Structure 1
Amino acid sequence: MKECIDNCLNCFRVCEEAVSRAIESSNINTEHVKLLQACATICMTSAEFMMIESNYHYDTCGLCAKICRACAKDCENGSEAWMQECYEACTKCAYSCEGMSKMGH
């Protein structure tokens, strides 16, 4: 569980930084920013649910994995280094959250 928490917290940090970078960008994509914000929020929520050992963390992890996959796909083809970092963090978080989610079902 610790690895999943760490991956969620890292993904939260990376997505928050990506929001700032995306907003600073000259051609801002509002849908991309919304997805980054949603991803950051669910990552923090999932980490918090695991830290308090809530029985619902399996559910939050399932949703986190889904949103992280969508965010990773959105960042995958970006040419900027921060988009690649976002892709990697989201992919890693999605993988660990999928595993955590399956443990509860």
Structure 2
Amino acid sequence: MEHNHNHQALIQKLLDCVLACEHCATACLGEEEVKYMVNCIVLDRDCADICNIGARLLQRDSIIAHQYLVLCEEICRLCATECAKHDMEHCQACAEACRQCAEACHAHHEPITQD
């Protein structure tokens, strides 16, 4: 299957999201009322891991990469929704990075199919 997409731009969006999520999770752990940040931290960590794998799959031209982007989009949207609930700058920045990544993944993913 041939793909003429600009993988580098998409990979960069995924990696930007990974870094934003890692920064957000670490910053959340330092918040005074950390118990209110638990869902944010959990989703940040999941999103960082999932998007990291997505970037790696694209980099190696995996045959599953464009199907895997369905999962990347989903976790990015979940993480963006949670982070957007919090006023902290790190949460707002993470929400924006996740939204941008979700849109990029949406534009490039393919349906999950089995032959």
In the aligned structure 1, how far is the partner of 2:112 from the partner of 2:104? Answer: 13
In the aligned structure 2, how far is the partner of 1:73 from the partner of 1:104? Answer: 24
Q: Which residue of 2 aligns with 1:68?
A: 76
- Which consecutive aligned stretches of 4+ in structure 1 deviate over 4 angstroms post-superposition? none
Q: Which residue of 1 aligns with 2:94?
A: 86
- Offset of residue 104 of structure 1: 7.9
Amino acid paired to 1:17 = H
Q: Which residue of 1 aligns with 2:4?
A: none
Assess if the C-alpha contact under 8 Å between 1:76 and 1:83 holds in 2.
yes
Q: TM-score of the superposition, structure 2-length normalised?
A: 0.85
Instruction: Show structure 1 runs of 5+ residues with no match.
Output: none
Assess if the C-alpha contact under 8 Å between 2:67 and 2:111 holds in 1.
no
Structure 1 residue 42 and structure 2 residue 32: aligned? no
Q: Which has the higher helix share?
A: 1
Residue identity (%): 27
SS of the residue corresponding to residue 77 of structure 1 reads: coil
Structure 1 residue 24 and structure 2 residue 30: aligned? yes
Instruction: Tell me the number of residue pairs that the alignment of Structure 1 and Structure 2 aligns.
Output: 105
In the aligned structure 2, how far is the partner of 1:82 from the partner of 1:30? Answer: 15
Task: Choose the corresponding residue for 2:61, options 23, 31, 53.
Answer: 53
Assess if the C-alpha contact under 8 Å between 1:42 and 1:60 holds in 2.
no
In the aligned structure 2, how far is the partner of 1:64 from the partner of 1:44? Answer: 9
If you compute each CA radius of gyration, which structure gives the higher value, 1 or 2? 2
Assess if the C-alpha contact under 8 Å between 1:72 and 1:88 holds in 2.
yes
Q: TM-score of the superposition, structure 1-length normalised?
A: 0.93
Instruction: Show structure 2 runs of 5+ residues with no match.
Output: 1-6
In the aligned structure 1, how far is the partner of 2:14 from the partner of 2:105? Answer: 8
